[in-house]
Every structure is written in structure tokens, then in C-alpha cells.
Amino acid sequence: MRILVTNDDGVHAPGLAALTRALARWMAEGSPAEERQVVVVAPLANHSGASAAVGTVYEREAVAYRSVEIKGAEEVPTYGLDASPALSVILGSLGAFGAKPDLIVSGINLGVNVGRSVLHSGTVGAALTGAQLGISGLAVSLRTGVEPEPWQTAATIAVAVLPVLTAAPARTVLNLNVPALPLAELRGIRRGRIGGAGIIKSASDASFPLGHGGLGGPKEGEVHLKLGAAVPQLGDLGERDPDEDAALVAAGFASLTPLLGVREANGAEMDGVVRDALALADRAQQRA
């Protein structure tokens, strides 16, 4: 079993170190018949909110990296790359740092990745990128707001679910969000449904009076943001359903959500949409 560890907070982030130390212990506990390997391939800089972006790789001939040492896990090969989380996973999965991994573990992110923020998360994007390469993955995030951060809580749960993930079908991706609580105070772990909580609740331009559409107005200005619930520490959840991921974390439960990445949309409804679009495109071509 070979595990590739990455994150979006950067290779020097404390969450990555805590996760790597936990996996190093897991590696040491393996039986002689079960060879366990861990390698860290993560960005040198913070790429929070990068989703599965890889940047303009077609304009690059190479990606720089440097070897890094994680205290308490010195035996784990660790590399910091001039790359996003998704690109780090791609390079680490295609032979740049050894054999193809059996599993991607991404995190521990400082801040939850729940609701609509799942789409934008570099932590989640790395795991979903692995799935596109046929590799299952686990994205791990910890709610902020308590210092020192209880990294061990998230790390313990992450390691605990590895046997299930390794036995699951290829391309399985799980999103784990953990409240900032000591392990003994955690209320449990539940399946969380992706809710409607978002990072940004509203946006307005102070240059225009309320209700003004902005057409013909100033050419420069500032768009003012009002943050929503799915910020790293969780904002006001309002009347969220108790089984939503954000609500579970706010209530003291760890939330585990299975995710699907980019897949072709099939089914009768989508077939009809594509058929109608093709027909209109054909007519436009014939009239031209």
C-alpha cells in the first residue's frame, strides 16, 4: 500500500505535518507481509481555493521542487513543488517521485470544506484529481477557531477510515470535515450531505445606489463581499438541515461525504438536451 499525501496550505503547514506523522505511525504498525509506504508531494506555497487547477502547464518545460523534512516523520520522503495541489497529485501519480500511489490523502486543511465550498477547495480538488487517474482519495479538513488546533482528532479519524477506502472501488473519494474538538469530546462521525452553505453570501458595488443595475456607471470600483456560512470557521448556518455537512460539524460531529468528480452526464433528460442542441447547431451550420 502506497499513499501519496498532499494539501493546499503548503508543504510546511502544520496540518500536513500532523497527518504525515499519523501516517508514519500507521506505516510502522504494518505487518511484514503488508508493505506500507508514504510519500508527501505538496505545493511549496499556499494554494487555498485553487480547486483542481493546474495552471498554464503547457507553457512550462519543468516543475521545480525541493526536498523537505517533517519533524517527527523524517523517514517519510517529502517534496515541495512549484505547483498547485492538483498538479502535485498528477506529477506524484505519474512516476515523478516513485511508483503510482494506491491512495491520495489530502490535508489536513485548516478550515472546513463544506457546502458549495467543496467545489472550490484545493484540498478536495487534489483528491478528485487522483480519482481522474483511477486512484481513490480522502480529503481531510479541520474547523478553525480553537488554538492550539486539535490536529490529532482529524488525523486519527483519517487513518481509521483508510482500510475502508482501500477496499472501496477505484476512484472512490471521501470528504472528511472535523470539528475543532479533542478526540474525547467528538460526538461521533456521521454521513454528511453537501448543503447549500457558501463562502460568499452576497456581493455589492458601493459605487451604485441599492437596486441600480450599474449599466453606464463608473468603470472602476470595488465589489464588497459578505461572507456566508462555509468559511473556514463556519459562519451563521441559519436553518440548515441537521444532516448537512456544515450543520454536523457545528453540532460537534465529524462529517464524511462521498464525492463524484467530473463525469459525463447520462440519462434520458440529458440525452434530450444534447439532441436538441445538436439539431440547432446543425441548422445554424446549414444556414451559414
DSSP string covering 141-178, please?
EE--SSSS--HHHHHHHHHHTHHHHHHSPTT-EEEEEE
Q: What is the mean pLDDT of residues 244-260?
A: 95
Lowest-pLDDT range of 140-144, 187-191, 239-243: 239-243
CA distance 209 to 99: 59
Average pLDDT over residues 214-222: 68
CB atoms within 10 A of CB 143: 24
Q: Model confidence over 121-180: pLDDT tens digits?
A: 999 999 999 999 999 999 999 999 878 999 999 999 999 999 999 999 999 999 999 999
pLDDT of residue 203: 74
Average pLDDT rounded to a whole number, residues 170-192 = 96
How are strands ordered across the β-sheet holding 78-81? 65-67, 78-81, 37-43, 2-6, 103-110, 136-142, 173-178, 254-259, 189-191
Residues 43-93: tens digit of each pLDDT: 999 998 899 999 998 899 999 999 999 999 999 999 999 999 999 999 999
What the block records as the C-alpha cell of 7 is 494539501
Higher pLDDT among residues 225 and 17, named by residue:
17
- DSSP β-bridge partners for residue 110: 142
Query: What percent of the chain is predicted at pLDDT more than 70?
Result: 90
Give the span between the Cα atoms of 139 and 167, in whole angstroms: 17
Closest to 51 in 3D by CA, of 109, 124, 116: 124
pLDDT value of position 282 = 95
Query: Which residue type is seen at 135?
Result: I
Closest by alpha carbon to 38, among 48, 46, 51, 29? 29
Q: What is the mean pLDDT of the chain?
A: 90
- For the cut 60, the answer to whether the pLDDT of residue 210 exceeds it is no
Confidence class for position 207, pLDDT limits 50, 70, 90: low
How many angstroms separate the CA atoms of 200 and 72, rounded? 38
pLDDT band per the 50, 70, 90 thresholds, residue 34: confident
The answer to whether residue 260 scores a pLDDT higher than 90 is: yes
C-alpha cell belonging to residue 241? 438541515
pLDDT at 227: 73
**Ordered domains of the chain (ranges, CATH):** 2-193+243-259 (3.40.1210.10)
The reported pTM is 0.90
Q: Please report the pLDDT score of residue 206 as a whole number.
A: 65
